[in-house]
Chains A and B, each alone.
Chain A
């Protein structure tokens, strides 16, 4: 196995584009090394992107935030500005694994691993986050929810690397939240998860909303009906019930070692309700 540690994104893209055999990008490694250990993948080339300048930074601009591909999730939690603007995204990122994993894992790795149960993805999708992709023919930007096409598969072409996630600047009276269900209190993969992001008007009525569900379909689900159920409301019980019903109805889960279809359908609605309430409070709603 060849290990390379380029200093520029151009070199990294070049290495990935030229690679013969199986090539993988390494940032945190908390998924890649697990898959190597189990013999699930046997890379011929690993391109470590941590020496690329700027990739380990969280940048705040007029337009919002840019989170680089080698920023460990722990650093997201340590960024007060990011945690204030996007608390739901940050709490999702900080739920991935233990403190040990937090020191290594990245949201882009979490995204590119393309697991239906990835914690940060529903929160990012609800937040309307965009992925900046560098490739042999230049850069392109796509919505996070479009990146994963099927379990284990992404739309990335040969030589393409996601270099950053962009989060927009928050309008006032906005909030987001992410909740997942796991059997234990830590160290598990989400059985069901829900991310909600919303913005209120001056009267505390939900003006816009995005609701995303994880681990209930092959890829993250953005549930429009669920968002519509709370837009124009103050999250009254009836609205929340409609939200939950829309979520449960949108799920296409499977029975597996982590949960059942019935459980996932029911709990997706429960979590969406709870996450919506938290997001609403964070937006200043009462």
Chain B
């Protein structure tokens, strides 16, 4: 069986790959492209650990077929920092200890980035509902919410 050829953009770079029809974008990112920052926590869209942004929409990459990426623009955790310089959310997550085991962290960061781009000044409730698609089992979410609030303040220039 021949693979499906796909041309796409990932973190600003042109990327080409071959994949099988049933392979998910998450499979492609992790197993074909070596981008293992997105994690598979469930494979059914319930945990958000595989969150990426496809054409300005936050999605679970486990619920996207690799073939669907044709012509898309994809952002993953590997592209979040600007070279050496961490994104404010990345910095605040470390500063606030918003991670313990850290396996949900890439998904939370991508989802938080999407949230703040749509709503730069969210209330605590908006943050909590905005991030409800990302499961964290270690922190009880307290420090994650605080990190997002603090990053939002900094990004607003306050």
Contact = CB atoms under 8 A, between A and B. Distances in A.
A and B touch in the complex (CB under 8 A): yes
Interface of A: 1-3, 5, 26, 29-30, 33-34, 36-38, 43, 46, 48, 50, 72, 74, 97-101, 103-104, 185-187
B82 interface: no
Contacts of A48: 65, 67-68
Nearest to A38: B44
B65 A101 contact: no
Nearest to B131: A99
A30 B45 contact: yes
A3 B65 contact: yes
Nearest to A186: B132
Nearest to A44: B21
29 contacts: A33-B45, A33-B63, A33-B64, A34-B45, A34-B63, A37-B44, A37-B62, A46-B21, A46-B65, A97-B133, A98-B133, A98-B134, A99-B132, A100-B45, A100-B48, A100-B51, A100-B60, A100-B111, A100-B133, A101-B45, A101-B63, A103-B57, A103-B59, A104-B57, A104-B60, A104-B63, A186-B129, A186-B132, A187-B133
Contacts of A26: 65, 68
A271 B62 CA distance: 34
Which of A29, A36, A38, A103 has the most C-beta atoms of chain B within 10 angstroms of its own C-beta?
A103
A43 B67 CA distance: 15
A98 B48 contact: yes
Q: How large is the interface on B (under 10, 10 to 19, 20 to 34, 35 or more residues)?
A: 20 to 34
A5 B58 CA distance: 22
B64 A100 contact: no
Given A30-B63, A48-B68, A72 B129 contact: no
Nearest to A2: B21
A161 B100 CA distance: 47
B94 interface: no
Contact of B132 (A3, A5, A34, A185): A185
Contacts of A101: 45, 60, 63, 133
Given A34-B45, A185-B129, A74 B57 contact: yes
A101 B48 CA distance: 9
Contact of B62 (A33, A72, A97, A186): A33
A101 B50 CA distance: 12
Contact of B4 (A3, A36, A74): A3
B114 interface: yes
Given A29-B65, A185-B129, A100 B43 contact: no
